[in-house]
Amino acid sequence: MNDNKITQEMIENLILEKVFIRAHKKTTICCLKLKNGFEVTGTSACVDVKNFDSEIGKQIAEEEAKNKIWELEGYRLQCDLYREKLKEKILY
pLDDT band at 91 (very low <50, low <70, confident <90, very high): low
Contacts of 13 (CB under 8 A, 6+ apart): 35
Tell me yes or no: is domain 8-91 CATH 3.30.160: yes
Q: How far apart are CA 3 and CA 74, in angstroms?
A: 12
Q: Within 10 Å of residue 35's Cβ, how many Cβ atoms?
A: 10
Pairwise CA distance, residues 78 & 41, whole Å: 23
- pTM for the predicted model, two decimal places: 0.88
Per-domain residue ranges of the chain: 8-91
- What's the pLDDT at 1? 39
| Selection from 37, 39, 38 nearest residue 29 by Cα | 39
Mean pLDDT, the chain, whole residue set:
94
The pLDDT tens digits for 33-56 are: 999 999 999 999 999 999 999 999
